[in-house]
């Protein structure tokens, strides 16, 4: 009987610790229960953007990427963004893929416009800027410099 009580208490402690870690992970990662409204942004390049990627305005997280898929006709990346209802986005805003530092993760940055009209549930951003191919730019700079040196 005593062994059963010890095993039961040990199991309860293990479950309590696991529950604490789940609560801690839930509160610190900024996960939400799906509240907010969705907006759609179409990018020609969406490297580094996945489900759960941050959506930020002025560097502050205001939402996350809910879905990423490829348009089979235009081959654009269609991203569905979930934005907190506290933030109303002007309809002339620009969605762009930005990097947080040279080796940092990509995120979706929203540059708010000045329009009086607001984006509503399910609406598309009219202007978007896709991700930059950093390695392509570096190799282009290196190889174009070498070509210029040979001409002289």
Task: Provide the pLDDT for residue 125.
Answer: 95
Average pLDDT per block of 10 residues along the chain, 152 residues long: 79 84 67 77 91 94 95 95 95 92 84 94 92 75 65 50
Task: Provide the pLDDT for residue 28.
Answer: 61
Per-position DSSP letters for 75-130, written without gaps between them: -PEEEEEEE-TT-PPBTT-EEEEEESSSSS-EEEEEE----SSB--TTPBPSEEE-
Task: Provide the pLDDT for residue 40.
Answer: 96
Task: Provide the pLDDT for residue 141.
Answer: 83
Q: Provide the phi-psi class of 23: left if phi over 0, else alpha when psi is between -120 and 50, else beta.
A: alpha
Task: Provide the pLDDT for residue 143.
Answer: 84
């Amino acid at each position: 009987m005593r062994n059963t009580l010890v095993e039961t208490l040990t199991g309860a402690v293990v479950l309590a610790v696991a529950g604490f870690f789940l609560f801690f992970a839930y509160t610190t990662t900024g996960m939400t229960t799906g509240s907010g409204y969705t907006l759609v942004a179409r990018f020609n390049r969406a490297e580094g953007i996945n489900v759960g990627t941050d959506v930020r305005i002025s560097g502050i997280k205001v939402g996350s990427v809910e879905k990423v898929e490829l348009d089979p006709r235009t081959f654009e990346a269609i991203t569905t963004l979930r934005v907190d209802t506290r933030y109303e986005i002007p309809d002339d805003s620009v969605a762009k893929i930005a990097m947080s530092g040279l080796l940092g993760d990509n995120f979706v940055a929203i540059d708010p416009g000045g329009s009086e009209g607001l984006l509503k549930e399910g609406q598309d951003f009219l202007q978007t800027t896709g991700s930059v191919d950093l390695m392509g730019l570096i190799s282009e700079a290196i190889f174009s410099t070498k070509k210029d040196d040979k001409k002289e």
